[in-house]
Chain A
Amino acid sequence: MTALVPYVTGGISADWTDYLLAYQEAGATAIEIGLPFSDPMLDGVTIQQASDRALSRGATVVSILQDLDRVRGRLRVPLIVMTYANLVFHRTPEGFCRELADAGISGLIVPDLPVDEAKPVARAAAEAGIDLIPLVAPVTPDDRLEQIAALGSGYIYAVSVMGTTGERATLGSSAAGLAARVKAVTDRPVLIGFGVSSPEQAAEAGRAGDGVVVASALMRRVLDGATPAEIRETVAGFAAALEVSADYAYAEVSGDRR
């Protein structure tokens, strides 16, 4: 069984937290919330546009975390924040991780924070009781994979393609090989993301790893005006392909300490 982790850009619309509920209903195992950054270096055009829209609506770290109050109690799946290093360091790693923990967030992904720069954030995350989920790439050498596998906690995020986020016609050919290389050096579960665009690709990724992140394929539809109810169907399609059931818990795969 494979975890399904759909993504939403925090603050993209007034009712964006309804997407969280829709994802959960559709069978999401966990949900990734993007805290929008002005200069998303590793994002393709879809997430860039989503980030711009959220920022132009006035979304901030504080407002997005506060919005979560609206769904507290109703949301059972764990939430993982994905954002860029400047937003983390601007509030200090300690302050930022504490704010996340206070808002009920369980994990943190920072795509421009390689292991060599991550120590202060890893320490702060551990203290706050949230998982720092490190990223690995197809070009990461094996000795470095071991170093990365020793960083943070919870999942390892395998970036399946050499490129930015964004939809692609086929799943990166390096996804399966990378997941296997990670599994050879650690027992930590492996999330596969970047460019997973269709249920078929998700199923393929799911055979290689323990979880699949779907972002641009959903956010393009959100940008095009899809309602939470419509997106629920899209996510349900991915869930069916991955054979996830709605009561499947993040803790079972991540070794989450909560």
Chain B
Amino acid sequence: MSTLMTEPAAGRFGDFGGRFVPESLVPACDALAAAFREAWADPAFRAELDELLVVYAGRPTPLTPARNLSADLGIELLLKREDLAHTGSHKINNVLGQALLARRMGKGRLIAETGAGQHGVATATAAALLGLEATVYMGERDIERQQLNVLRMTTLGAEVVPVGSGSRTLKDATNEAMRAWVSDVDRAHFLLGSVGGPHPYPWMVRELQRVIGVEARRQSRTVPDVVVACVGGGSNSAGTFAGFADTSARLVGVEAAGGAAMTNGSPGVVHGARSMVLQDADGQVAEAESVAAGLDYPGIGPEHAHLGAIGRAEYHTVKDDEVVEAVRRLARSEGIICALESAHAVAWVLRAAGTPELPTGSRVVLTLSGRGDKDMATLLGGAS
């Protein structure tokens, strides 16, 4: 089974993926694919990345038994603690890999899109560490609701460019980042934050996030019944799933009800790949609507579309109010304040535990993709 394991030929995952970009970007995508293939096979590159993941990012992150919730719910719940990674989310895994690759390719500048700001913060962090410039595109609406991360990015020396077009969220920030890349393709690396976009991004980002799943598999010792993670573009889930692809574990992705490309979308071509997309009858991309800026996105990475199509992974949705409640419940029962994005996975477990969807006694590995500091203002302001 090659899904979640190998480089996809021509960037295709079954009917999905590919490279739908302007001709101006094709040579850059080709060069990036070749550079990543070579670097990934180079023990020196791997050693440098692994070392950074340990001494800088704080890996491995623990697998924490959620003792109180487990007792309450009648399951065994294990939390993969990406919230404890440097910068506060899994995004650092991908960013350190791509930033090292950018430097290896001789690029002096990183361009990134961000929704919740976690990917932007990680990019600004890696740029500071490696002496690169960083420009981060962020929707105006996300700038308002993720102020803390905007301040972190500027403190780290990155330029944050507000995007006022369309829904003023992640979708539009991604458009603008791609436009910026076309205009500076020689000097800049487009540091995409999830498993979407044109080949090689879905493959490269999944490989760079694989560390989550590999560690969790080792730490959980026996194979769990269910592996669950939240899904925006799908990188923390893809990285988690990759560690369990060849096991019998059920793979569960949890989408925001208002941004559920797998559940409510149809095949389409957006941001460089064919995947599942929320769109209207004419093929115009719909605006997503979620309390979690990082999941407020109408698309999903193409490998997820394929995993769903072949039935290897299942995708569920949870609503904003369940998510806000899940943040509180996890905080009060385990002393862990997780990100609104990560709380989608928690909310599904809270709802499903003890039902046929997640029977009593199940052993569950849940990736807690990030910490919730950035969301305090949102939680205080209205969602109570």
A39 near B272 with CB under 8 A, answer no
Contact sample, A vs B, 23 pairs, CB 8 Å cutoff:
A37-B283, A37-B284, A39-B270, A41-B22, A41-B271, A42-B24, A52-B165, A61-B283, A62-B282, A85-B20, A85-B269, A86-B269, A86-B270, A86-B279, A86-B285, A87-B283, A112-B20, A112-B269, A114-B21, A117-B19, A139-B28, A162-B185, A163-B24
Closest residue of chain B to A157, judged by CB? B23
Q: How far is the CA of A164 from the CA of B267 in the complex (A)?
A: 26
Give how many A-B residue pairs fall within 8 Å (CB-CB).
110
Complex interface bits, A40-76 against B, C-beta within 8 A gives 1, otherwise 0: 1110100010001001000011100000000000000
Binding stretch for chain A, among B39-47, B112-120, B174-182, B334-342: B174-182
Write the chain A residue with the least CB distance to B23. A137
A112 touches B24 (CB 8 A): no
- Chain B contact-residue range equals 20 to 34
Shortest C-beta distance, A49 to chain B (Å), equals 9
Given A39-B175, A111-B22: A89 touches B182 (CB 8 Å cut-off): no
Chain B nearest Cβ from A205, distance in angstroms: 17
Residues of A within 8 A of B172 (CB): 39
Partner of A164, one of B27, B182, B185: B182
Cβ-defined contact, A38 with B284, below 8 A: yes
Q: Nearest-CB distance from A62 to chain B (Å)?
A: 8
Q: Which residues of A contact B (CB under 8 A)?
A: 37-42, 44, 48, 52, 55, 60-62, 84-87, 89-91, 111-117, 135-141, 144, 148, 159, 162-164
Complex interface bits, B1-45 against A, C-beta within 8 A gives 1, otherwise 0: 000000000100000001111111011100000000000000000
Contact assessment for A114 and B23 in the assembled complex, using a CB-CB cutoff below 8 Å: yes
Given contacts A42-B182, A117-B18, whether A90 and B282 have CB atoms under 8 Å apart is yes
Nearest residue, chain B, Cβ from A42: B22
Residues of chain B at the chain A interface (Cβ within 8 Å) = 10, 18-24, 26-28, 165-166, 171-172, 175, 178-179, 182-183, 185, 267-272, 274, 277, 279, 282-285
B contact face: mostly helix, strand, loop, or mixed: mixed
Question: What residues on A are CB-neighbors of B26 within 8 Å?
Answer: 114, 116, 137, 139-140, 144
Which chain B residues lie closer than 8 Å to A159 at the CB level? 22-24
Is A90 within 8 A of B179, CB to CB?
no
CA distance A114 to B171 in the complex (A): 22
Partner of B182, one of A61, A62, A141, A163: A163
Contact B183 A163 (CB under 8 A): yes
Contact B24 A137 (CB under 8 A): yes
Whether the Cβ atoms of A87 and B282 lie closer than 8 Å is yes
Question: Contact check: which of A87, A114, A139 meets B20 at CB < 8 Å?
Answer: A114
Query: What residues on A are CB-neighbors of B179 within 8 Å?
Result: 41-42, 44, 163-164
B166 contacts across to A, CB distance below 8 A: 38-39, 52
In the complex, the answer to whether B27 meets A139 with C-beta atoms within 8 Å is yes
Rounded to whole Å, the gap between the CB of B167 and the closest CB of chain A is 9
* B213 CB, nearest partner CB in chain A, Å: 30
**Across the interface, do B23 and A136 meet the contact criterion of CB distance under 8 Å?**
yes
Give every chain B residue within 8 A of A60 (Cβ-Cβ): 282
For the complex, give the distance between the alpha carbons of A252 and B351 in Å: 68
Contacts of B22 in A (CB 8 A): 41-42, 111-112, 114, 135, 137, 159
- Chain B residues with CB under 8 Å of A41's CB are 21-22, 175, 178-179, 271-272
Residues of B within 8 A of A87 (CB): 282-283
One of B171, B175, B182 near A162 (C-beta < 8 A):
B182
Residues of B close to A91: CB separation below 8 A: 283
Q: Which residue of A lies closest to B178 (CB)?
A: A41
Known: A39-B271, A89-B274, A159-B23. 15 other contacts (CB 8 A): A37-B284, A39-B171, A39-B175, A41-B22, A44-B179, A52-B165, A61-B282, A62-B282, A86-B270, A87-B282, A113-B20, A115-B23, A116-B18, A135-B23, A162-B183
